[in-house]
Structure 1
């Protein structure tokens, strides 16, 4: 195995000079720099990341703790994180951590010395449990908030998105609108339920507990909830699922039960995962810029790392918007943009 001493000996320079070139620190002439890089490449020398981190106090690695690694939502979040991290010369160390205080703290302790900061996505977690982490570790809380201002956080406009989708269903004439909820302690689920209930109250519709089905953000939960709703004497005319995975499960159950969507029951979801537009019928959903969500979380973390965790903490929210497709009974909003000539004609006729 080639070491830094071998490279220094072959290039006839000191180990310190090789270290400065490979770490991008300290004054070294361009000629010497080119020579060392040529020798290191020819000898296929790979710097030891552990030794480098001891010297620079940086690992160029970001830790990511997620409640799950399954599904399109998480793959899109990771894609946004990884793209942004690599643009800034960082890599990701990803782990699945159970949403409890002990699990999160254990995972972060395991990452100490191996990462420069951590993004924690744990909507089921009491976020204040993170406050006893070492103050030297930059942390960004994703999809959950802390009551104080000690941790950077990034959330989704859950309540607003759910309220707008429920109001859209009401505008189509629906009065019995069911919701398939997320996990009981989940921050996103609680906020989406709040938005759903708010829209009903604003329309003068009393919430019906029978139309609020439990769920856990999985396709299986959506499938089971839809069957439960179909067994009601007074069925709903629309189902709003707190995420797309449960909406997809509900669509499957309705199709197997011979129920026409949207003629008999309209269905809508939340997140607008890439698969949503390819469902049959295409799924109306509350669009979340999932990839951008992951990217912004990494940007917040890099800001904390740059300022050595001495920065003013930020609490940001990612906007949502409705994407209406055939599952709610109207023509899809996704159309190719008009050509300039067509747009000019339309504007001229107004």
Structure 2
């Protein structure tokens, strides 16, 4: 798809001139406007309809579509989005999908019907359909999860974080490390599972299917998954848990079964928890810069709304290991 910059280069003018011509030609010499319009027609350029709408006083409303409003990860992320939006006089509407593709689709239909200025979305599935928004020229930015090459995305490196978490468990004495990840149709679930697998391969250990369980990114799902692992003839002595809420469920199962962390089973979770260093044992996690991810996504979205063209951009943040008691067995210093 040609961009405003492509037209400007072909016509030998600035992008500002292309923008004025594409939006009516006011203030542009008629001969120059005709020349630029001819290039627009030849290349098949289509202007950003959202930016045009803003110039006509369309609503200054952004939508933030997230899968789990109860997850602390999204609390800080939402604040990052809102702080940037408010500085530009935009309001933010929050939509919670509960990881339900049907609920997400209903929200996206509503947002399209109300012509919001832009959408930031953590997609519920790899099959999420954004076509209605795209047809209307509504800017979309993915957050946490990739949407495809045509869309901007801000995320953390889930695969690298999971690899580091698993290698951390191995380095502190765990020999049989399991993974509780999220739904199979969610990008971050598979990225974190791939990081876990890669760490095992690097260590020369086999990948055992019975040690890999797909849960639902919720406490109850991880509780059932951990019980399933503990029921194995040879239970794991280390577990990587692919998000914070599942970490809670996994630890609850261990407590009820009398499995002591980290003496009998070491554990690392993905995403930090506000009280992770206050529990006993304190919880080792892969910490993500959630506020920064939210603010970066909002900045990219506003740039698109203001007319920025070009292919999808991706900003990747690196998660950080917060090493605490749950992963380090007494007497083992790695």
Q: CA RMSD in A?
A: 2.3
- In structure 1, distance between residues paired with 2:135 and 2:267: 45
- In structure 2, distance between residues paired with 1:163 and 1:200: 8
Is the Cα contact below 8 Å between 2:152 and 2:312 reproduced in 1?
yes
Is the Cα contact below 8 Å between 1:324 and 1:330 reproduced in 2?
no
Which residue of structure 1 lines up, in the alignment, with residue 168 of structure 2?
A: 168
Which residue of structure 2 lines up, in the alignment, with residue 59 of structure 1?
A: 59
Mean Cα deviation higher: 132-141 or 184-193: 132-141
SS where residue 277 of structure 1 aligns?
Answer: coil
Q: Which structure's CA Rg is the greater one?
A: 1
In the TM superposition, what is the alpha-carbon distance from 1:102 to its structure 2 partner? 6.4
Residue 205 of structure 2 corresponds to residue 205 of structure 1: yes
Which residue of structure 1 lines up, in the alignment, with residue 262 of structure 2?
A: 262
Higher relative CO (Cα under 8 Å, sequence separation at least 6) belongs to: 2
- In structure 2, distance between residues paired with 1:62 and 1:179: 36
- In structure 1, distance between residues paired with 2:109 and 2:226: 42
- In structure 2, distance between residues paired with 1:205 and 1:248: 27
Is the Cα contact below 8 Å between 1:85 and 1:298 reproduced in 2?
yes
Is the Cα contact below 8 Å between 1:219 and 1:249 reproduced in 2?
yes
Distance 1:189 1:63, change over 3 A: same
Residue 322 of structure 2 corresponds to residue 323 of structure 1: yes
Is the Cα contact below 8 Å between 2:183 and 2:189 reproduced in 1?
yes
Q: CA offsets per residue over residues 270-317 of structure 1, 9 Å max, x none? A: 01132322332111011111122111111111111112x534431221
Q: CA offsets per residue over residues 89-111 of structure 1, 9 Å max, x none? A: 22101112476776545423422
Is the Cα contact below 8 Å between 2:140 and 2:301 reproduced in 1?
yes
Residue 225 of structure 2 corresponds to residue 251 of structure 1: no
Unpaired runs of 5+ residues, structure 2, are 1-52
Which residue of structure 2 lines up, in the alignment, with residue 36 of structure 1?
A: none
Which residue of structure 2 lines up, in the alignment, with residue 87 of structure 1?
A: 87
Is the Cα contact below 8 Å between 1:84 and 1:299 reproduced in 2?
yes
In the TM superposition, what is the alpha-carbon distance from 1:130 to its structure 2 partner? 2.0
- In structure 1, distance between residues paired with 2:127 and 2:315: 18
Distance 1:100 1:226, change over 3 A: closer
In the TM superposition, what is the alpha-carbon distance from 1:260 to its structure 2 partner? 1.3
Residue 308 of structure 2 corresponds to residue 313 of structure 1: no
Which residue of structure 2 lines up, in the alignment, with residue 32 of structure 1?
A: none
Kindly report which structure 2 residues correspond to 1:44-55, keeping only aligned pairs within 5 A, or say none. Answer: none
In the TM superposition, what is the alpha-carbon distance from 1:115 to its structure 2 partner? 2.3
Is the Cα contact below 8 Å between 1:271 and 1:290 reproduced in 2?
no
- In structure 2, distance between residues paired with 1:56 and 1:66: 29
- In structure 2, distance between residues paired with 1:56 and 1:285: 47
Unpaired runs of 5+ residues, structure 1, are 1-52, 332-350
Residue 137 of structure 2 corresponds to residue 136 of structure 1: yes
- In structure 1, distance between residues paired with 2:153 and 2:55: 31
TM-score, structure 1 as length reference? 0.73
TM-score, structure 2 as length reference? 0.76
SS where residue 240 of structure 1 aligns?
Answer: strand
Q: CA offsets per residue over residues 6-52 of structure 1, 9 Å max, x none? A: xxxxxxxxxxxxxxxxxxxxxxxxxxxxxxxxxxxxxxxxxxxxxxx
Which residue of structure 2 lines up, in the alignment, with residue 49 of structure 1?
A: none
In the TM superposition, what is the alpha-carbon distance from 1:196 to its structure 2 partner? 0.2
Which residue of structure 2 lines up, in the alignment, with residue 125 of structure 1?
A: 126
In the TM superposition, what is the alpha-carbon distance from 1:60 to its structure 2 partner? 2.1
- In structure 1, distance between residues paired with 2:89 and 2:256: 49
Is the Cα contact below 8 Å between 1:197 and 1:207 reproduced in 2?
yes
**Count of aligned positions:** 276
